[in-house]
Structures are given as C-alpha cells and as structure tokens.
Amino acid sequence: MAIMALFALSLNLITGFCGQISLGHAAFLGVGAYTSAMLCKAGMPFYATMPLAMLAAGFLGVIVGLASLRVRADFLAITTMGVVFLFVGVVRQQEWLGGEMGITNIPGPDLSKTGFMVLSLVLATLTAALCVYLRRSWMGRVFNGIAEDEDTMRVLGIDVPRYKLAAFAIGTALAGLAGTLYGQHFKYIGPESFGFIESITVLSMVVFGGIGSVPGVIFGAAFLSVLPAWFQFIGDYKLLVYGGLLFLMMRFSPGGVAGMVRALRKPRQSSSNPNGAQP
C-alpha cells in the first residue's frame, strides 16, 4: 500500500497537478527498480542506490518531457504509452538486464519485514508532504494554471515548457524511488512487472481517489492495492474491475472519492450558513 501510494502520488504530480496525461508511468517505476537492482548486485549499498535510481528515472522523464512539449491531450497520451512499450522491449532484449527471466535475489538492507514497512511508510509520507507543499507553492499554482488553460499561462508570460519539464522530472524521479522499494519488496523484477497494465493500474488509483487530490490518491492507491486480496476472484479480473471503476468514476464522479467527499460537505456548509453570511 505504501509503495503504490508513493507511485500513485508521483503520477498525480504530473497528471493531477499539471494536467499532463501519462499512460506509460510504469516505465519510470521500472527504471528505478532496475537501476537499484543492478547497483545492489554490483555491491553498492541499497540506500546509496536510491538517489541514483531517482536520477535515472528523472533523466528519462526529462527526455520524455522534451519529446512531449509539442503534443497535448490524446497525442501526449499516445507518446507516453509508447515509452512503456519501448522500455519493456529493450529490457527483454538485454541479457545483462536479465532478459525475459528478470533479476532475482536482489540484495538489500538488513531490515525485518516490519522495518521495511516502516521505511516504505516514511518515504510515502515524505512524498505526500512534498506534494502538499508543491500544491501550495508558486510552482503548484503554475502547474494548476497550465492544467486549466495552457495558452492563457503563455500570455501571462509563464515559461510553460520549463514547468512541464519540472513536473515530469519530479514525478518520474519519485516513481523511480517507488521502483527501488518495489524491487526490494519482491526481491525480483522482470519486464512483465512494468508493462502497460501497471500503467493503467496506477492511473486507476489516481482517478478513483481523485485527480489532483493528495489524500484522495493515497486512499485510492491503498484501497485498490488491497482489493484483490480482499476478494480473491478479482485477481483474475483485475483489469476488468479497474477499467470498470475508471469508466464509472469518469461518468458519474470525475473528481473521484475526493470529489464525492467535497460534494457531501457542501450541503452541510450551506445548511450551517443559510443566509450566505461570511463566518
């Protein structure tokens, strides 16, 4: 739950804050996981691999961001979707990356299951705090303006490409951080772990929780992470269930669970202040 919350928050920073659609976010999770795993196999301490994995994923994010500056909406979604297929194809063809078999027995820190859980929770909490800070900062306001009306922001003199690249760099670097934890959790990574299905899964978490909402995305990631464990039959039909949730949310509640909560609060606020007077 903590790892997927961190991963979902990284996508929310790009899609929810800045309005840039990404359907290939799992590729950056994979870059972080493979970078950390290969360095750990080479003898580097796990904690030292974390910033390097974030740097690698963020660097790829900037490259993708540069390639995506001239495209929007559907074309941006197709561009980012191509990244995940390219990543999986490259990994499968490179034997030094484990090829089809992946990388097994990934060495890591001498932590118990509880210790690793605490580490994951701490990193997820710090990521959430960073997202809240960015949301309230000048950069966050610019991100929101770009998401609402990119052309107006250009007219106001905002360097839109610069902020788009910043969103991609920060979001993909955080995805790389989630990838380091992902590899340590399973002690195995392979090309099938970072395909298009995983990109749709994390997008479902963001949409279900509420695009742009930090608490909502955390809830969506936590809920959809444990849903297959609660209902065993969902494991075989996960894509169908997640796709159905995406459809229902976009049709009936585009704001996700966070939007529902806001809608429920409005009548209470109106009833407590019927004359519209300012408290």
User: Each residue of 192-208: pLDDT tens digit?
Assistant: 889 888 898 899 899 99
Q: In the chain, which residue ranges form alpha helices assigned H by DSSP?
A: 2-12, 26-41, 46-68, 73-93, 113-136, 138-148, 150-155, 160-186, 196-209, 214-230, 238-252, 256-272
189: helix, coil or strand? strand
- Rounded Cα distance between 196 and 205, Å, is 14
Percent of the chain at pLDDT > 70 equals 92
Residue 277 lies in a domain: no
Residue 232 lies in a domain: yes
pLDDT value of residue 139: 92
Instruction: Tell me which H or E stretch contains 231.
Output: none
Residue 251 lies in a domain: yes
**pLDDT, tens only, 143-159:** 999 988 888 998 988 98
pLDDT value of residue 31: 96
Residue 124 lies in a domain: yes
Kindly report the pTM of this predicted structure. 0.89
- Rounded Cα distance between 172 and 162, Å, is 15
Residue 17 lies in a domain: yes
Residue in 14, 51, 27, 2 with CA at minimum distance from that of residue 180: 51
Residue 37 lies in a domain: yes
Q: Which domain holds residue 240?
A: 2-272
The count of domains in the chain is 1
- Rounded Cα distance between 39 and 51, Å, is 12
**pLDDT, tens only, 45-82:** 999 999 999 999 999 999 988 877 777 767 788 888 88
Mean predicted confidence (pLDDT) in 267-275? 57
DSSP-derived letter for residue 234 is G
Query: pLDDT-derived band of residue 231, with 50, 70 and 90 as boundaries?
Result: low
Residue 279 lies in a domain: no
Residues 6+ apart with CB under 8 A from 219: 209, 257, 258
Predicted confidence (pLDDT) at residue 121 exceeds the cutoff of 70: yes
Residue 169 lies in a domain: yes
Predicted confidence (pLDDT) at residue 279 exceeds the cutoff of 50: no
The CATH code of the domain that includes 265 is: 1.10.3470
Mean pLDDT, the chain, whole residue set: 87
Classify residue 263 by burial, with Cβ atoms within 10 Å: 0-12, 13-18, 19+: exposed
Classify residue 276 by burial, with Cβ atoms within 10 Å: 0-12, 13-18, 19+: exposed
